[in-house]
Each structure stands twice: as structure tokens, then as C-alpha cells.
Chain A
Amino acid sequence: MITEIGEPIKVGVVFGANCIGGKKIKPVWFIWKERQYRIKEVTYTWTNKEGSSSVHYFSVTDGQNLYEIAYNTETMVWMLMAVEMEG
């Protein structure tokens, strides 16, 4: 079941690492509500223009649930957009 969140998060990212979609930016962990989530796999990435901002979306899993996180290049803020609980 997908739950829309839309909250800012802290993200640990490796710049220059290969990521799916040909991106050179790979999120490794994020902190949401004071809990750290280690990213096991970045399953998909896409980029969307919102006005003049580019927002890079990452579909990631910690091995249990699926998360959609997004980076706004204009505001330089990471957001947890949605969570999909497996099962």
C-alpha cells in the first residue's frame, strides 16, 4: 500500500558513483523521523521539471519496503515523497 509522505529528510549520498538511469549520484542512506534507513538498492531513477527546478526522483528499497525520495536541485532539499509497505 502506497502512503504519500512529502516530508524533508537527511540523505547520505555518494557523488560520482554509478547509479541506475546513468545518474552519477547515488543515495546510500536516509534519516526519517530520527530513524536511519540503509538503502539496499536504488531500483529506478527519473527526473522531472517543476517550473524551473529539476527534481531527481529515486525509487529505493531497504530490503523490506519501497521508498520514493526526491532531490530538488533548486532548493537543494531531499524529500521522502512516498512509502510502499510490502505485504
Chain B
Amino acid sequence: MDSRTIMHVDMNAFFASVEQQSKPSLRDKPVAVIGAQQRTVITTASYEARAYGVKVGMTVLEAKKLCPDIIFVAGNNKKYTDTCTRLVRLYADYTPLVEVYSVDEAFLDITGSLYLFCEPEDIAVQIKRRIRRDFGLTCSIGVGPNKLLAKLAGSMQKPDGFTIIHPGAVSEILEKLPVSELCGIGSRLERHLEAMGVKTCGELGRFPVKELENKFGIVGKRLHQMGLGVDESPVVPVEDTPDAKSVGHSMTLEKNVSNGEDMERYILQLSEMVGRRLRRGHYSGRTIALTLRYSDFHTFTRRCTIKEYINDGFDIYLAALDILRMIRLKYAVRLLGVSISNLVTNYCQIPLFKKDRDRVAIVQAMDEINDRYGEFSITQARLLDRYQHKGVIAPAWRPAGIRKVNY
């Protein structure tokens, strides 16, 4: 497996860079992209803003304190997702094995492409040149014998960098590298490892596997491999992505709600969105989950599993309402989410009663109209005045398949 050559492409300050390219007056200025809703945080900051310490997740107020001259731009998810889709087409000119890791990162397995392009540097130079010419954007590219090391290489030089980790250099690079530099080891895991006397990747690679397994379970073996720079996971193109395990939508509300009627309307909207996406992917499910976040940010999910597999938004709504009625709300709610899991594909049950058959026909007709004229062109009457939610791009978003959401 380590005879592979994997490339990681990471767009630099993606959303902010797109906005700076779109609007010349923003170029070379500290820019922070925020969500389009009122309640929002920083989703990306330009390198000029990062120099002041502005980071993803900060509030507008926090960012303004650090950088008084910062310019806030409301994000445009359509721009970013379309750019990602076109970037993926560009990558596909170099290999068919392209895995979209997130909206601004991708892995390319270029092992087989080196017969055509000779060196990884040749591919990297071409990709960087085309991205700069066609989009006015820059990226950092890392190359390594696997995905873990390719991503690590890419992170070593930002912005506009190119780094290769050769197989022979892995031990030397990892020896003194802090464990948190590896993708998959966050601050919590870092603290646990430090408590065991492990601070560097070198120490992690030498630590007894059994002790890691005792502490972390099955993850322990994976951690040990990471410490050694071993990662056998393949680059998975979007068409080979495994079937979805769940489909869901959530939204942060403009104002906290405690009114039952308002909450039901939001749940209906979310349920319709989930139903649409399920039907598009020919999925049905029978475990419905309702997620609530209180005004104090306490978040919880309640689930129920029903007998039948469903994908009609109204049926999902009724199941979600049943869950809501079992919850004694303590505070006002700031976020609601509806999801469905326990999925099957191409489930077909011919309804017994006429009214149910009519319902299926109505849903199908509505789908055809919404496919033709756009989402919510025809909808439940209660949703005519629906919440115009402009969310952030979900981490699970992909340019094709069930995970593709049109923003």
C-alpha cells in the first residue's frame, strides 16, 4: 500500500479568497466570511485577517476586537459549492481517483498517473497554474505515500505551498512532530495521550499497541499506525462512496422559539427538505431523529423507530412531532434538526387504500414541479411563509450523490 503516491489539494482560505477574487476592493484586506443569517460566526478568514488572530468559529464581535478594520462578507454557498464542483472536474483531468474530503479539500491518487505525467511536481504545477488562471485562487498541495502524510505535507506550507514527504523521510519528519498535527487527533485526544506520556508522533509510534487499545479501544491500533505514518485507507471517488447511513437537515433559527406552532412549522419545513432528498436518492428510512439546541447551547437528540419505511416529508413530520410531544421543553430553542436513518434503497410498497395511493401521486407530482421550477415552488400551504434559511455548507456536502445539497 505504501507504494502509492497520494496528493492532497487544500484551497487557501477558500471562501474568503473567492470573495476577494470576486470583489477587487477586498483584495489584500482583512476579510472574514460570515453566515448569511443574523446569528453567525466566522466561517473563513483571509490570511490578512488571520495575521490579527482572527479564526474560524469566532463571533463577529471577537473578530472586530482583534482586527478593527476587518471587513465582513456574507457567504454565498452557491458560489463555493459550484467552484468546488468545477475544481473536482479539473482534478479529474489528472486521475479518475478523486475523493472530495470537504468543500475545499480533495485527495487524488496519482499513482497510475505518473506514467503520463512523470513526477508529482509536474501535476502539482499544472493544477496550481490552472487554478490560478481559471479561478484566481491559490492552493497548498501535499504529496505523500498515503492520505495521512499527503495531508500533513500540504499543511506544512500555506498559502500556495507544495511539499512532498518521501517514504524514506517519514520517520524523521514524524519523530518530533506534535501528535495534534496529525489529522484525526484533536485537542481532547491530545490531552489523553499527553496524560500517558505521549506528546510526539515518534512517541506514539513506539508506544505499546496493547496499552493504546486498552485505553481507546479499537481506535488505539489506528492511533499507533498514525504515529508510524501508516494509513492504508484508499482514495474513494464520489461514485464509489458507500450508501448514506442517514439524511438530515438542521437550522439555527433567527430568534429563539418556545411557541409550539412556530416549532411545528420549522419541523415541517425540515421534514419536507429531508423527504425531498430521500426520494431523490431513492431512499426510505424508519428511524426518525429530532435534534434540539436550547438557548444555553445544550443540544440533544431523541429518536423513534417506526414500523414502516417512509420518505414522505409529511410522514416524517408526524413522526418528528410525536418525538417533540414527548419532550418537556426547559428553555427556548435556537436550533432544530430532523434526520432519518435505518435506510433502505428502492423500497416499494403499493398502498392498500385509495387515499394513500393519491398521496403518493401528489408527492410525485410535487417532486416533478419542484424539479422543474426549483425547491418549494409548490409546497404545503403552511410553508408559503417559510423561514428563508441560508445555512452553512454541511461538512458532509459532496458535489454529487445524496450528499449534494443545492444551496
**Chain A interface residues (CB < 8 Å from chain B):** 20-22, 41, 43-44, 46-52, 57, 59, 61, 66, 84, 86
Contacts and interface: CB of A to CB of B under 8 A. Distances in A.
A46 B79 contact: yes
20 contacts: A20-B134, A20-B136, A21-B135, A22-B134, A43-B21, A43-B23, A44-B18, A44-B21, A44-B22, A44-B136, A46-B78, A46-B82, A51-B371, A51-B373, A51-B374, A52-B372, A57-B78, A57-B79, A59-B23, A66-B23
Given A51-B373, A51-B377, A44 B134 contact: no
B24 A52 contact: no
A15 to B, nearest CB: 18
B21 A51 contact: no
A77 B136 CA distance: 27
A48 B377 CA distance: 16
Contacts of A86: 25
Contact of B406 (A20, A49, A61): A49
Nearest to B80: A46
B21 A22 contact: no
Nearest to A84: B23
Contacts of A59: 22-23
Nearest to B134: A22
Greatest chain B CB density within 10 A among A21, A46, A50, A66 is at A46
Given A21-B86, A22-B134, A86-B25, A44 B79 contact: yes
Contacts of B18: 44
Interface in B144-190: none
B40 interface: no
A20 B371 CA distance: 29
A71 B136 CA distance: 22
B342 interface: no
B86 A22 contact: yes
B28 to A, nearest CB: 15
Given A20-B134, A21-B86, A22-B86, A41 B372 contact: no
A41 B23 contact: no
B225 interface: no
A5 to B, nearest CB: 16
Interface in B348-407: 370-374, 377, 406
Given A41-B24, A61-B24, 9 more contacts: A43-B22, A44-B22, A44-B136, A51-B371, A51-B374, A52-B373, A57-B78, A59-B23, A66-B25
Nearest to A60: B22
A44 B82 CA distance: 12
B373 to A, nearest CB: 4
Nearest to A56: B82
Contact of B372 (A22, A47, A48, A51): A51
A22 B137 CA distance: 13
B37 interface: no
A46 B134 CA distance: 12
Contacts of A41: 24
A22 B132 CA distance: 11
Contacts of A84: 23
A70 to B, nearest CB: 11
A36 B90 CA distance: 36
A66 B136 CA distance: 17
Contact of B374 (A46, A50, A57, A61): A50
Contacts of B136: 20, 43-44
Contacts of B21: 43-44
B256 interface: no
B82 A47 contact: yes
A81 B130 CA distance: 29
Listed residue (A44, A51, A84, A86) with the most chain B CB atoms within 10 angstroms of its CB: A44
Contacts of A20: 134-136
B311 to A, nearest CB: 21
Nearest to B369: A51
B59 interface: no
A85 to B, nearest CB: 11
A86 to B, nearest CB: 6
Contacts of B135: 20-21
Nearest to A19: B134
A24 to B, nearest CB: 12
A41 B78 CA distance: 21
